[in-house]
C-alpha cells in the first residue's frame, strides 16, 4: 500500500512538471503569450500547490507578461536589466503568501511621482523570482515595467 501511495505522488509530480514545461515552452512560440494576471485567483492556485511545485510553476512564467497591482514601499535609483530605477512594492492580493515586487523602470518621474503606500498598477515582463525561505511562502518577483500607472482609490 505504501508503494502505491508513493507511485501516485510521483505520477502527480511528473504531470505537474510536464504542465510547467508546456507553460514555459509557450514563451518560445511565435504567437504572443497571454498576459498572466497577478490577482487573487492566481495566488490562490499558487498557494494550493506544494511548496516545491510553486518554484516549477514560477520558473515556467519567466519571460511572460504579467499584470497586477502593488502598494509602493519605495522608489530608488538602482540599475538592473538596463533600467535605472527600482520600484519596490508589496502585492496585497497574495493572500497568505508574502510577495515583494521589484519593478524596474526607466522613467525618472517615478522617483517623485510615487510615494510610500501608493497603489501602482503595472504590466511588464516577469524576469525571475527569488524564494526568501524554505517554506516557499515568501518571494521576490523581478519585473521589467512596460506600462505603469498610479491608481486613484
120-143 pLDDT, tens per residue?
A: 999 999 999 999 999 999 999 999
Average pLDDT on 24-53 reads: 79
The pairing of strands 119-131 and 98-105 is unpaired
Q: What is 2-151's CATH number, 3.40.50.80, 2.40.50.140, 3.30.565.10, 3.20.20.120?
A: 2.40.50.140
pTM of the model: 0.76
Residues 76 and 51 sit within 8 Å (Cβ to Cβ):
no
Amino acid at each position: 500500500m505504501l508503494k502505491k501511495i508513493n507511485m501516485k505522488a510521483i505520477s502527480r509530480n511528473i504531470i505537474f512538471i510536464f504542465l510547467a514545461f508546456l507553460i514555459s515552452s509557450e514563451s518560445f512560440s511565435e504567437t504572443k503569450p497571454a498576459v498572466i494576471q497577478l490577482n487573487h485567483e492566481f495566488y490562490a492556485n499558487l498557494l494550493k500547490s506544494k511548496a516545491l511545485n510553486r518554484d516549477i510553476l514560477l520558473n515556467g512564467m519567466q519571460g511572460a507578461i504579467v499584470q497586477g497591482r502593488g502598494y509602493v514601499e519605495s522608489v530608488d535609483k538602482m540599475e538592473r536589466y538596463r533600467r535605472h530605477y527600482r520600484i519596490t512594492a508589496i502585492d496585497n492580493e497574495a493572500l497568505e503568501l508574502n510577495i515583494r515586487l521589484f519593478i524596474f523602470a526607466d522613467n525618472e518621474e517615478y522617483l517623485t511621482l510615487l510615494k510610500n503606500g501608493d497603489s501602482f498598477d503595472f504590466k511588464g515582463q516577469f524576469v525571475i523570482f527569488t524564494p526568501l525561505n524554505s517554506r516557499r511562502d515568501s518571494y521576490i518577483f523581478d519585473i521589467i515595467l512596460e506600462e505603469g500607472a498610479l491608481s486613484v482609490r
